C-alpha cells in the first residue's frame, strides 16, 4: 500500500509534530522548499526561466522560499504574487526572497510565457473557487502551458480539492506535482487524475510515528498478490470455487454473460448463471463454459416463483453475485434469496436499486455482503448526493456490509481506513465494465471461500480491492492494444489473463 493523508489530517500531523518536537513551523517550510528546489533542478535544471505564482498562505511561503533557493543555484526566476503574504511564515519568506534579489512581477509584465511556471497559490485545504488575481494567474498558467510552458504544482494543483479531487473553476492543469511527505487523496480522485500530472512525493522529515493510523492508502501490486490463492497441481474444479450469478433479463442478457465470462477468466472453477428461462440460450451461447439454471419469468425478469429453485442452488455454492442486468422488474424475492443464503455475496446494479427501494432487503445486509454501486446507485442507497468519495464509501459501509464505490478511482473501506484503487483508464467508461468487475470479484470470493477462508468483513473488503486493481490492469492492457475509443467491456475479459500475469 502507498500511504495517503487527507488535508485535515496532514495539518493535524504537522501541529503534533511541532508541539512534540519543538520544531518551528518555518523550519519545516524551509525543508519543503529545499526538497522542492532539488526536485525542480533534478527534473528541469536551472536554465529555464521560471515564474513562481505565490499565494498569501503557507503554499505561497513554500513558493517564496523555493524561488530564493532556485535563484541561489543560478536559476532565472521571479515571483508573481496573487495577494500580499498573510501568514507569518509566508511574510518572512517573502522578505527573505526580496532581500535575496528575487524580483516581483505582475501578469501584465509577462509579455512572453516563461519556460516554467511554479504554482504555489493554494495548498490542499482549498474549499472554494479561486478568485481575483489568483484566478487570473491560474488562467495564465494554463494558457502558457498550452503554448509549451511547463507547469509544476507545489503540493497540489491550485483549484483542486485535496480531499475529494473535485476541481473548482479555474484549476491548474499541471505537468508535474511535487507533494510533501505523503500523497493526498485528491491527487488520485476525480479531476485530480487529470490535473495532477506526474506525481512525486518529497520527504520533509516528519517521522512515520506521527502518521495517523486510520489514514487512507493506495492499493498496490503487493496487496493483489497477497489475495491471490495458491494453485496446487492437485486441484479440480469443485475445489476451485463454485459461483452462482443471479443476473439477466430480457434485453439485458449480455450483462449476465459478461459477468459469467469474467468469473471464468477470473479462475472460478464452476459458474452457474441463474436467469429467466427466455435468456438462457443467449447466455449459454455467449458464455458456453458456464452452466445455466432457467428460472420462472414475469415481464422478462425473474418472477417471485424463482425463489425456491434459487435458494436450492445457493445452498451449494461458495459465493454469489447478484444484480447484473437483473432489471428493476425482478422480484425482490430473488435478491432476498441471495442475501439469506449464508454465502459471501456481491450485490450490484439493479440488486442495489431493489435494496434501496425496500427497507426489508436493506435490513438483511451483513458483513459477508459487499455492495458495489456507482455514484448514482450510491446516492439512491444513501438518500443524498455523493460528493466526497471516501466519506461516501465509509457511509455505505454503515449499512452493515462491505462496500466498493466505483469511479475512475474506486474507493473501498478496508478495516478502519479507505483503500483507493486507481488502476484503469478512460477506455473502461463503457457499458458492461461493471459487470466484468462483479464477475471477477465473485470469482476471487469463491476461490478463497473454497479454500476455507472466511470471506467477510476485512477479508471481503481486501478481496474487492484486489479485484478492482486487476480489473483496472485489464483495462490498461486492453487500451494499450486497442485505444480508448475502440475498446469495450468484453475486451477487459480478454485482457484478464495478462492482468493476472502482472501479479503472479
Q: 433 to each of 207, 245, 287, 349, 464, how far by Cα in Å?
A: 41, 16, 16, 12, 15
pLDDT at 230 (0 to 100)? 85
pLDDT recorded at residue 383:
97
Helix (H) or strand (E) holding 202: strand 198-202
Residue 107 is predicted with a pLDDT of: 78
C-alpha cell at 327: 432489471
Please give the average pLDDT of every successive group of 10 residues along the chain, which has 504 residues: 95 97 98 98 92 97 98 95 96 98 87 91 92 96 96 98 97 98 98 98 97 95 90 90 98 98 97 98 97 98 97 98 98 98 97 98 98 98 97 97 98 94 97 98 97 95 97 98 96 97 90
Helices 349-357 and 332-339 meet at what angle, rounded to 10? 100
- Partner residues linked to 51 by β-bridges: 78, 117
Q: Is the pTM value of this prediction over 0.75?
A: yes
Phi, psi dihedral angles at 411 (to 5 degrees)? -120, 130
Q: From the CB of residue 209, how many other CB atoms can be counted at a distance below 10 Å?
A: 8
CA 477 to chain centre: 18
Q: How far apart are the first and last CA of the chain?
A: 17
C-alpha cell recorded at residue 342:
449464508
Q: How many other β-carbons are positioned within 10 Å of the β-carbon of residue 53?
A: 30
Q: What's the farthest any 2 CA atoms get from each other in the chain?
A: 83
Domains of the chain: 2-216 (3.40.50.10260), 234-503 (3.40.1190.20)
Q: Residue 450 has what pLDDT?
A: 96
pLDDT of res. 67: 98
Specify the 3-state DSSP secondary structure of 488.
coil
C-alpha neighbours within 13 Å on the C-beta side of residue 209: 5
Confidence (pLDDT) at 385: 96
Cell of 500: 493476472
Of 310, 330, 311, give the one whose Cα is nearest residue 251.
330
50 vs 44, 68, 114, 135, 139, CA distance in Å? 10, 12, 6, 19, 17
Closest alpha carbon to 478 in 495, 501, 493: 495
Amino acid at each position: 500500500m502507498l500511504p495517503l493523508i487527507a488535508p485535515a489530517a496532514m495539518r493535524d500531523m504537522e501541529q503534533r509534530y511541532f508541539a512534540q518536537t519543538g520544531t518551528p513551523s518555518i523550519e519545516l517550510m524551509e525543508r519543503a522548499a529545499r526538497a522542492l528546489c532539488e526536485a525542480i533542478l533534478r527534473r528541469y535544471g536551472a536554465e529555464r526561466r521560471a515564474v513562481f505564482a505565490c499565494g498569501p498562505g503557507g503554499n505561497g511561503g513554500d513558493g517564496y522560499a523555493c524561488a530564493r533557493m532556485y535563484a541561489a543555484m543560478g536559476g532565472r526566476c521571479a515571483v508573481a504574487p496573487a495577494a500580499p503574504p498573510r501568514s507569518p511564515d509566508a511574510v518572512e519568506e517573502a522578505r527573505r526572497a526580496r532581500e535575496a534579489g528575487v524580483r516581483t512581477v505582475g501578469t501584465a509584465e509577462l509579455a512572453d510565457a516563461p519556460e516554467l511556471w511554479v504554482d504555489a497559490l493554494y495548498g490542499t485545504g482549498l474549499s472554494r473557487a479561486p478568485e481575483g488575481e489568483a484566478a487570473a494567474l491560474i488562467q495564465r498558467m494554463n494558457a502558457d502551458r498550452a503554448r509549451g510552458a511547463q507547469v509544476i504544482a507545489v503540493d497540489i494543483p491550485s483549484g483542486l480539492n485535496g480531499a475529494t479531487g473535485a476541481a473548482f473553476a479555474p484549476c491548474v492543469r499541471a505537468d508535474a506535482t511535487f507533494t510533501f511527505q505523503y500523497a493526498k487523496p485528491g491527487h488520485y480522485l476525480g479531476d485530480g487524475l487529470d490535473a495532477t500530472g506526474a506525481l512525486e512525493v518529497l520527504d520533509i522529515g516528519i517521522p512515520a510515528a506521527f502518521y495517523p493510523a486510520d489514514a487512507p492508502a493506495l492499493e498496490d501490486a503487493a496487496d493483489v498478490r497477497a489475495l491471490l490463492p495458491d494453485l496446487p497441481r492437485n486441484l479440480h474444479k469443485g475445489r476451485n470455487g463454485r459461483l452462482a450469478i443471479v443476473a439477466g433479463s430480457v434485453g439485458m442478457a449480455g450483462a449476465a454473460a459478461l459477468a459469467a465470462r469474467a468469473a471464468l477468466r477470473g479462475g472460478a472453477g464452476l459458474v452457474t448463471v441463474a436467469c429467466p428461462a427466455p435468456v438462457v440460450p443467449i447466455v449459454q451461447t455467449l458464455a458456453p463454459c458456464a452452466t445455466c439454471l432457467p428460472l420462472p419469468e414475469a415481464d422478462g425478469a425473474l418472477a417471485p416463483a424463482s425463489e425456491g429453485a434459487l435458494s436450492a442452488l445457493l445452498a451449494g455454492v461458495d459465493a454469489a453475485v447478484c444484480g447484473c442486468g437483473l432489471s428493476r422488474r425482478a422480484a425482490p424475492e430473488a435478491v432476498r434469496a441471495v442475501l439469506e443464503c449464508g454465502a459471501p455475496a456481491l450485490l450490484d446494479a439493479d440488486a442495489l436499486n431493489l435494496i434501496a427501494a425496500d427497507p426489508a432487503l436493506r435490513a438483511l445486509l451483513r458483513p459477508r455482503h459487499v455492495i458495489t454501486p456507482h455514484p448514482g446507485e450510491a446516492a439512491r442507497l444513501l438518500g443524498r448526493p455523493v460528493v466526497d468519495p471516501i466519506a461516501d464509501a465509509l457511509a455505505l459501509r454503515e449499512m452493515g456490509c462491505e462496500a466498493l464505490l466505483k469511479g475512475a478511482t474506486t474507493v473501498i473501506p478496508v478495516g478502519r481506513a479507505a483503500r483507493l484503487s486507481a488502476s484503469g483508464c478512460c477506455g473502461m467508461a463503457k457499458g458492461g465494465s461493471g459487470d466484468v468487475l462483479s464477475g471477477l470479484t465473485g470469482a476471487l470470493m469463491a476461490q478463497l471461500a473454497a479454500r476455507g477462508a472466511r470471506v467477510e468483513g476485512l477479508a471481503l473488503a481486501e478481496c474487492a480491492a484486489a479485484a478492482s486493481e486487476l480489473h483496472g490492469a485489464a483495462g490498461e492492457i486492453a487500451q494499450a492494444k486497442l485505444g480508448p475509443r475502440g475498446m469495450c467491456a468484453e475486451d477487459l475479459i480478454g485482457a484478464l489473463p495478462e492482468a493476472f500475469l502482472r501479479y503472479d
